[in-house]
Amino acid sequence: MNVTKTLADHEIEAAIVRGELVLDAVPEGCVGACYELRMGNVYYDLTESEKPRSVDPGGNILIKPGHRVVLITHERLALNADVFARIVSKGSLFSVGLSAVATYADPGFRGRIGIVTQNISDKYIMLPLLERIAKVDFTILETPARRPYQGQHGFDTEIWPIKHQLQKTREQLAGDPRLSEPIPVDREVTGTGVESLASLVRRQIEADRKHGFPVDLASDEERCNQISKDLVGLIGEIGEFANLIKKVDLTFTRPGYQGPDLADAVPKLREELADAQIYLLRLAHLIGADLEKVVIEKMRLNDDRYEYLKRS
């Protein structure tokens, strides 16, 4: 009678020599009761695109903070009908903020493995080609599977199996009581003459061009340098706002202090706030952001996030 068992490293190595379990493998990848899969030259950044990205020899992949990325292994699995495999990520990746979904390969599976990950850190993660990214262990079944895996893996057919039918936009879910009401937005100039954020950005940038202030930069280096300068200006305006409100506060908390009251300070506070907003308009232009759109979307996300605080 056959017995279900998990293979040890020397058994995995022997199967590799026979052309089974793992193709394109290296003997030193067999460790303990698993084989350590390496990073291949293809990956998907699902946050930006569904198209595969290739990496040149000696290169690395870049995983941006918050991005969902599918790592495609260098090795190919080649499983008989009486073998299945479990794939888990290495702890060293989680320690730098890369969270991975454990996956599985059915009996009969042949192909490279895609491992869905997300960068949950605030840093960029760079993975060199052939970096060890996951462990796979193999279990021998008592009897072969009646319906083993057939066909090609999604990666091999160049069609990643993303189930878009499970994804919905906020507009598609309009009226769903589980969502808070969206914030109405008039993106044009209103009948009262109040301008939208988008029009304010355009107006400010047109004025800056007329006055000779730098807004159209030729390179990322120049743009980054100007962003740094505008950021210093923004912090300066916020500092002036904070300094004035500190003086107002001292009139309440320090007896005998001769400072402005809030009513006297409000006109200047508004001016400093306006200066800060102008810097924000410039920064939005420099990074190509639709400031109105991203603010509204952030407000909607906050509505959902803090829904539990809503008073009944």
Which tens digits make up the pLDDT trace of 65-92? 888 999 999 999 999 999 999 999 898 9
End-to-end CA distance of the chain: 64
> How high is the pLDDT of residue 186?
47
Report residue 71 as tokens. Answer: 């790592």
> How high is the pLDDT of residue 123?
87
Which tens digits make up the pLDDT trace of 157-213? 555 556 677 777 777 777 777 775 554 544 445 444 556 778 888 889 888 888 888
> How high is the pLDDT of residue 297?
84
SS3 58: coil
Which of 254, 256, 222, 259 lies closest to 244 in space, CA to CA? 259
Burial code (b: 16+ CB inside 10 Å, e: under 16) for 133-159 equals bbbbbbebbeeebeebbeeebebeeee
> How high is the pLDDT of residue 275?
92
Tell me if domain 5-166 and domain 197-309 are identical in fold: no
| CB-based contact 91:160 (threshold 8 Å) | no
What residue ranges of the chain have pLDDT lower than 50?
1, 183, 185-188, 190-192
- The type of residue at 41 is N
> How high is the pLDDT of residue 252?
86
CATH superfamily, domain at 197-309: MazG-like (1.10.287.1080)
CATH code linked to domain 5-166: 2.70.40.10
What does the DSSP assignment read for 99-112?
EE--EEE-TT-EEE
Q: Where are the domains of the chain?
A: 5-166, 197-309
> How high is the pLDDT of residue 77?
96
What is the reported pTM? 0.56
**CA distances (Å), origin 139, targets 81, 110, 224:** 11, 16, 53
Measure CA 204 to chain center.
31
> How high is the pLDDT of residue 109?
94
> How high is the pLDDT of residue 154?
56
- The C-alpha angle with vertex 111 and arms to 110 and 112, in degrees rounded to 5, equals 145
| CB-based contact 105:155 (threshold 8 Å) | no
Beta strand pairing call for 5-6 and 83-89: unpaired
Q: How far apart are CA 124 and CA 105, in angstroms?
A: 30
- The type of residue at 272 is E
